[in-house]
Amino acid sequence: MFKSEDLLGLKDAINWPYLLDVLGFQKINVKTRRCCCLLHGGDNATAFSWHKSFFHCFSCLRSGDAIELVQVVRGISFVDAVRFLADLFGFRIRSVSSSMEKHKSEAREIPQYISDRLLNQDFEKIQIEENIREIQNE
Ligand SMILES: [Zn+2]
């Protein structure tokens, strides 16, 4: 189990264009934050988008954070995906070692982390919807 504050720090440190390039995403447009989606394999260069710590695909409607993306693209576990990202961005992730600490941190931090994440996800969807409206109104 990793320290949840380190996981949040890692997600904030994600350089999306670099990560997407390493994972093999094509036609990455840094300005519009769009590219082709490797998850469903389409060639629509505006299907996949990212914002802060989340991604969303407008074609296959998959969304999540960088850890989930690495898990799906590479077919690896959560732990391996965290290690992959930590190595890629030179980020140090501390493990919660003793079972006592693990229990304490899970009891205290994980529900908060999950509720933050859900709030964030709603926020991200609203942001993306607003972006679409702006684009349509231009
Ligand atoms: Zn997709």
CATH, residue 43: 3.90.580.10
SS3 state of residue 93:
coil
- The structural domain count of the chain equals 1
Please give the distance, rounded to the nearest whole angstrom, from the Cα atom of residue 109 to the centre of ligand 1.
31
For residue 120, name the pLDDT band (cuts at 50, 70, 90): low
Is pLDDT above 90 for 134? no
Kindly state the tokens that stand for 48.
Answer: 């996949």
Identify the pLDDT of residue 37: 97
Residue 103 belongs to domain spanning: 4-137
Please give the distance, rounded to the nearest whole angstrom, from the Cα atom of residue 60 to the centre of ligand 1.
4
**Environment of ion ligand 1 (residues, CB < 5 A):** 37, 39-40, 57, 59-60
Instruction: Tell me the whole-structure pTM to 2 decimals.
Output: 0.70
Please give the distance, rounded to the nearest whole angstrom, from the Cα atom of residue 37 to the centre of ligand 1.
5
Please give the distance, rounded to the nearest whole angstrom, from the Cα atom of residue 105 to the centre of ligand 1.
34
* Mean local confidence (pLDDT), 69-85: 96
Sheet of strand 48-51, all strands in order from the earlier edge strand to the far edge:
34-35, 48-51, 54-57, 63-65
Which carries the bigger pLDDT value, residue 55 or residue 111?
A: 55
* Sign of the dihedral defined by the CA atoms of residues 122, 123, 125, 129, in that order: positive
Cα 75 to Cα 2, 36, 91, 103, distances in angstroms: 20, 19, 22, 28
Please give the distance, rounded to the nearest whole angstrom, from the Cα atom of residue 69 to the centre of ligand 1.
11
